[in-house]
Homo-oligomer: A and B are copies of this chain.
Amino acid sequence: MPNLALTISYNGTRYHGWQRQKNAVTVEETLSRAIARVAGGEPPPITGCSRTDAGVHALYYVCNFFSETSIPAEKLPLALNTALPADIRARRCAVVGGGFHARFSAVSKTYFYQTYTEKIANPFLRDFAYHFPHEIDFERVKDAAAHFVGRHDFSAFMAAGGAQKTTEREVTALEVTRGGGLLRFEITADAYLYHMVRIIAGTLLYVGAGRIDGAAVPGIIKAGDRRNSGITAGPMGLYLAKVRYGGRNGEQNRQEQKTQE
């Protein structure tokens, strides 16, 4: 049966995350039902590139599923968009090798995280940025961000509940920008621990607000104790922005996606 790689975007506000759950509406379940509606058959199991939490968004999210639909892959997004709610949009679809797995074939992922730091909340960003109304020392945040880049044991930046074999991850980039009352982090890593981006974001916000000394960050990483790092910043500020695939299954970045501007 053909293996289809599908790229979607979703506004996660209304969803209890990606993964199918009992008694809660998830992106996976909603998408699976839309696929069944347009392609026929039972709603298929879908492999997602990331298990995003409730309220987390995706600009570009890659998933794959097996289907014998007669609709050509390149026409599937248009068909799916007639069956999907407006907060999920299919963008592109392609037939890939049977070995392609949206999560295991990924070689790196980029997330961005945005925080609104003005005193009065922005009524337009309630579901789209974390509100942290404190004076931020931008230079301190930038300096502290550099400490995260590299291969580290990120135990201090992990919530309980993960099931990983190792807590080492490689962060290849962590950029900080600001503008319009927003502070933004863009992070790229080979893989992530549970809540890793949100705890790194919360730690950098604490550094910016003077609650954590930026020079202490290397020590916090080294000690590996969650009690030393900052808060878990809210889900509404988190966006999956890019997923890169390597040559393992001959996919050669065919599903590589660019961050939406």
Contact = CB atoms under 8 A, between A and B. Distances in A.
A18 interface: no
Contact of A89 (B122, B180, B261): B122
B121 A11 contact: no
Interface stretch (A47-55, A80-88, A247-255): A80-88
Which range holds the interface residue count of chain A? Answer: 20 to 34
A9 interface: yes
A120 B77 contact: yes
A123 B10 contact: yes
Interface of A is mostly: loop
A37 to B, nearest CB: 18
Nearest to A11: B123
B88 A261 contact: no
Instruction: Give the oligomeric copy count.
Output: 2
A121 B180 contact: no
Interface in A47-91: 57, 77, 81, 86-91
A245 interface: no
Contacts of A91: 120
A37 B112 CA distance: 39
A88 to B, nearest CB: 6
A23 B179 CA distance: 40
B9 A89 contact: no
Interface in A177-234: 179-181
A132 interface: no
A11 B126 CA distance: 10
A10 B126 CA distance: 11
Interface string A125-137: 0101000000000
Contacts of A77: 120
B89 A120 contact: yes
Nearest to A261: B180
B87 A123 contact: yes
A124 B128 contact: yes
A159 to B, nearest CB: 26
A10 B124 CA distance: 8
Interface in A86-123: 86-91, 120-123
Contact of A86 (B11, B123, B128, B260): B123
Given A180-B261, A261-B180, A11 B120 contact: no
Contacts of A124: 9, 11, 57, 128
Interface string A1-32: 00000000111000000000000000000000
Given A87-B123, A89-B121, A181-B261, 5 more contacts: A9-B123, A10-B123, A11-B126, A88-B123, A180-B261
